[in-house]
Structure 1
Amino acid sequence: MRPYSPPDYYLLDELLSEEHLFIRDTVRQWVNRELMPIIEDHAQRAEFPRQLLSGMAGLGLFGPTIPESYGGAGLDYLAYGIMMQELERGDSGIRSTASVQGSLVMYPIYTYGNEEQKRRYLPKLASGELMGCFGLTEPNHGSDPSSMLTRFEDRGDAVLLNGSKMWISNAPFADIAIVWAKNPEGNIQGLIVERGTEGFTTPETHNKWSLRASATGELVFDNVFVPKSQILPGAVGMRGPLSCLNQARYGIAWGALGAAMDCYDTALRYAKEREQFGKPIAAFQLQQKKLAEMLTEITKGQLLAWRLAALKNDDRATPAQISMAKRNNVAAALHVAREARQMLGAMGITGEYPIMRHMMNLESVVTYEGTHDVHLLITGMDITGINAFG
């Protein structure tokens, strides 16, 4: 097992309570014990390690902010962020599985579902007995989900759902899907669609160079009858899916730091051990420049994420603030991964070290839940009041 010393240059651990430190260390130890020994092999084979799901559920990684009365852990958003950071230090794809389950499946059921839906699904999702996925992105509508083609028609006690979604994490094994589709009036609504419903299929996406240890697929709806009792009653319009994306983006802002921290720590250790021209490469100015800049970017990201957590706990974090943190921290993590890869030279592309895997994963993270450029425009619109999307 590779040693790991997470960077904390501005002593942010002093801002964490004993409970937060305990949660962080518990997830870190689980990642060290259960995830790290197997992740390179699973990534090389492009296979999702389903055997980890029960352990993830046991740690409360599925819906940690959901109240205990519905099976969640009832934790705050700082705890949630720390958990995602530690999980993505292991692998972005594994963190994605947890983010989808908590932010994109359990959150909309808790926020927009009725009491019967909450009681029926949330405890089983928290325990990992049920796994879920989130269907918003379509083949021809990624950054513009309001133009989606998936829709449903009224059929008495049920609706008839037709359409397709793609790039859906967890789709190949999900028991339920939160699907966003246009109703007969053209407004977007969410539906809970269960696996096994006639006409509903989830073909897997193969040949990925990124998130290889994550299961990705499509959602295809061919004349699928969904009972009206499965419609989420609390959300009509884009507010529903966008609020879910804000939850996921918040977790990503923390998670990407975990990948960056792992790359930095790996590069620092390597630089102290690897000798060229008679001395460790850490003694050369250009290598110190890389390390200093990497640590600076990580530290800035840590401060951004910590402050965002405080705002979110006070219910004051705006979507634009979350967008800024997601965009900055993922871009910083990508920069750190690329610099770390260069420091390791040819060894950086092998599975003996995690850097190339992190770098490839982050190429997806910088795109999903809002691309790098879309988040820039969200910030631009917030500070100018002018919409540059249309």
Structure 2
Amino acid sequence: MRKAALLLLVATIAAAPADPESNGPAGPADYADGANWLCLPGRADACASPDTVELGPNGYGGPVVTRAAATPPADCFYLYPTVSRDPGFNSDLSPGMEERAAVQIQFARYASVCRPFVPVYRSGTVAAVRSVLNGLNPDPIFNRAYGDVAASFRYYMQHYNHGRPVVIVSHSQGTVYAIELLKREFEGRPLQRQLVSAIIPGWKVEVPRGQVTGGTFRSLPLCTRADQTGCIVSYVSYRQGHEPPADAVLGHASRPDWTIACTNPAALGSNARVPLDSYFYTGSNESMPSRVTWSSEGEAPAQFVHARGLASAACVNHGRTGYLSLGVNADPHDARTDDIPGEIFFWRWTFDGWGMHLADMNAPQGDLIRMVARQSAAWQANRNRFAMASQPISQTR
């Protein structure tokens, strides 16, 4: 799993530079240093409101401003995907535009419902990908990255958490470490009671067919209700009408009696196709060329567009195969695009085995954020009910 995880070319698949060994301290980063956090509550940092406009059937609308919540009920701890173009096998601790862009694209809006915590960690780089393909042992790369993840989370728990509920958010390579974090720090431990949910798409979470627990996690269940807490949201995305090919990196379970978990953020516990509340990045890079004309009016006037109902999603599970099927509610007579981006490209070629990997976090982003708000409220309500039930009768009158 670790070897495959380092092949996640999430934000760029451009040719990597030469492959020097990883540099920097051997031990974990120092998370008492605020420079080793991309986002902390109350700062003007990477979690500032992204530049966004509405996109509706009539074309571009007004600006969309996401305001940080004044007193959010929960904390969100985010691990970004493979983005670093640093020359080593692990990224350094000086975040570049790649890491900041990942936060803006995938996570910044969560500050409207939770306190944002985003550590800089020495993730496996694009340079590491080529070396792993050439036979490099990935374990030191994984161990260094996870060492930073674990150290940052423990620093957060000791200095920032103060018993607050926690949402884990991640994507792709970040999800590989989030799974490890959930197993080592949460599952079967007292901290599990503080888990609101874990939003961990872009990598395989496996469950026995027809079940919501077992497989990747022993006891953490998939989310199946809007008011459920302590649960997992996981999926890998493919375009409607295209399912994972036989040799797909994502989409097929490792055992014949298991399947890939799919939890539709817009319809937890359902396989129905439903419209999504999406935030799409309007820029481009080597792996996601600008091939979408967002409106017949011309170029988008902002870095992001907010599109309600343009995309739709349904969970599909059959046999070992499981995925979130992303569709487009196309209307050739309105101003809005009839396509959405999401596949990974290299020059003119599409990496079919990755599906709509680049849309995992953005196609249902509005739905995910609302889900976190509902789950956080449910967690707080459950805690209040438990506290009242634990008090002596004389104190509850």
More strand by percentage:
2
TM-score (ref. length: structure 2)? 0.26
Calculate the TM-score normalised by the size of structure 1. Answer: 0.26
